[in-house]
């Protein structure tokens, strides 16, 4: 099989994607000022590109898999196949205006809109029937109002920066996160499709493990039934007899958020020698 050609996103989302690969056992190292990382798998080849370009480059077919935000796929209208939502870098694309501008003013005059998302913005502005002039920005969009724009359309995680700049959100246009995409040509190739879906399976296992921990404990025969009935578990717990037929060792994988309430309960049910440790992958 030809190497699977992967596009990694330059900038703030690069580290999250590479960390996911590392969790799957695939080491990616990028020398300073370079754009072609080294990969410890002979069947993978990687290149770093701006997230804005990844969708269209996949569509053109020179690369097989890429990682970028859903917002940039929508902005560029890239014809690609979404493989999975990684859940990283969750943002909303919002329209925001200075606090002094009310909603009626937006409909009564021509509105200057500053944004990095020209196409998303124009579609939304047309749908809202807002007479507008869209000005393309290259970062720091929130500083344009009120002197240089009446409205911005930008991404935000918490909305805090908007508030700090005296802006209020008038609409949420879409939500976005970092996702794994594939070219449609790659998905027509049986060998490449198989490799892409194998990567997806590994990533799902890593992401599932991040949300869980393993709890291991001992329990006497007398307390065993009550303990097992009180356990949450992905399936049934793993149970092994202790040396000397003195009780049982019990293992369960649980969600991290359950642990604070679960540990006191386990003690009440007779568990002893409780251990908690991290998981690296969880495959159902």
Please tell me the distance from the alpha carbon of residue 205 to that of residue 187, in angstroms, as a whole number: 21
Q: What pLDDT sits at residue 233?
A: 63
Q: Which of 38, 21, 40 is nearest to 30 (CA)?
A: 38
Whether residue 146 has a cis bond before it, omega within 30° of 0: yes
Same domain, 124 and 230: no
Are 179 and 70 a contacting pair, CB within 8 Å? yes
Q: Is residue 283 part of a domain?
A: no
Examine the domain organization and report whether 44 and 147 are in the same domain: no
3-class secondary-structure state, position 72: helix
Q: Are residues 43 and 114 in the same domain?
A: no
- Asked if 84 and 186 sit in the same domain, the reply is yes
Q: Report the pLDDT value the prediction gives residue 229, as an integer from 0 to 100.
A: 85
Task: Give residue 1's pLDDT.
Answer: 62
Q: Phi/psi of residue 6, each to 5°?
A: -115, 135
Q: 284 lies in a domain?
A: no
Q: How many domains does the chain have?
A: 3
Query: In the prediction, which pLDDT does 104 show?
Result: 79
Residue 164 counted as domain residue:
yes
Q: What is the pLDDT of residue 173?
A: 96
Q: Which pLDDT tens digits describe the chain residue by residue (284 residues)?
A: 689 999 999 988 999 999 999 999 999 998 877 789 999 999 999 999 999 999 999 999 889 999 999 999 999 999 999 999 999 999 999 999 999 888 777 777 899 999 999 999 999 999 999 999 999 998 889 889 888 999 999 999 998 989 988 999 999 999 999 999 999 999 999 999 999 999 999 999 999 988 889 999 999 999 998 998 888 765 678 899 988 888 999 999 888 988 999 999 999 999 999 999 988 888 77
* 196 in the same domain as 59: yes
Rounded distance between C-alpha atoms, residue 103 and residue 93, angstroms: 18
Are both 70 and 185 inside the same structural domain? yes
Domain containing 221: what range?
A: 212-278
Is there a single domain that holds both residue 84 and residue 181?
Answer: yes
Q: Please give the distance of CA 116 from its chain centroid, rounded to a whole number.
A: 21
Q: Please name the residue that has the structure tokens 């796929």.
A: 73
Tell me, what's the pLDDT at 64?
Answer: 96
Residue 234 forms part of a structural domain: yes
CB 240 within 8 A of CB 213: no
> In angstroms, rounded to a whole number, what is the distance separating the alpha carbons of residues 45 and 64?
10
**CA torsion angle 31 37 42 44 (round to 10):** 170
Model pTM? 0.85
Helix 14-23 and helix 190-210, axial crossing angle in degrees, nearest 10: 90
Q: Looking at residue 269, which CATH number applies to its domain? A: 3.30.70.120
* H or E stretch covering 248: strand 248-255
Strand pairing category for 151-156 and 111-115: parallel
Q: Are residues 198 and 223 in the same domain?
A: no
Q: Is residue 202 part of a domain?
A: yes
Q: Which of 166, 185, 209 is the last residue of a domain?
A: 209
Measured CA angle at 279 (ends 276, 283), to 5 deg: 135
- Shared-domain flag, residues 79 and 182: yes
CATH number of the CATH domain containing 53? 3.40.190.10
């Amino acid at each position: 099989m030809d190497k699977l050609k992967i596009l990694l996103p330059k900038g703030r989302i690069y580290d999250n994607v590479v960390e996911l690969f590392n969790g799957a056992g695939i080491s990616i190292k990028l020398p300073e000022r370079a754009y072609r990382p080294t990969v410890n798998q002979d069947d993978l080849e990687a290149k770093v590109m701006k997230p804005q370009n990844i969708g269209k480059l996949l569509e053109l077919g020179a690369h097989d898999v890429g990682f970028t935000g859903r917002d940039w796929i929508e902005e560029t209208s890239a014809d690609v196949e979404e493989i999975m939502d990684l859940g990283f870098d969750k943002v909303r694309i919002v329209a925001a205006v200075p606090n002094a501008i009310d909603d009626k003013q937006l409909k009564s005059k021509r509105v200057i809109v500053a944004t990095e998302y020209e196409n998303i913005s124009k579609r939304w502005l047309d749908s809202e029937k807002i007479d507008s002039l869209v000005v393309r920005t290259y970062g720091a969009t929130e500083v344009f109002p009120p002197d240089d724009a009446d409205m911005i359309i930008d991404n935000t995680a918490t909305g805090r920066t908007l508030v700090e700049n005296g802006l209020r959100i008038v609409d949420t246009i879409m939500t976005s996160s970092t996702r794994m995409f594939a070219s449609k040509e790659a998905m027509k190739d049986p060998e490449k499709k198989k490799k892409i879906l194998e990567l997806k399976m590994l990533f799902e296992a890593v992401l599932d493990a991040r949300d869980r921990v393993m709890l291991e404990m001992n329990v006497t025969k007398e307390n065993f039934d009550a303990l097992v009935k009180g356990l949450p578990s992905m399936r049934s717990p793993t149970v092994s007899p202790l040396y000397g037929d003195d009780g049982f060792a019990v293992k369960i994988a649980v969600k991290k958020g359950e642990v604070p309430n679960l540990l006191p309960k386990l003690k009440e049910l007779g568990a002893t020698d409780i251990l908690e440790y991290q998981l690296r992958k969880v495959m159902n």
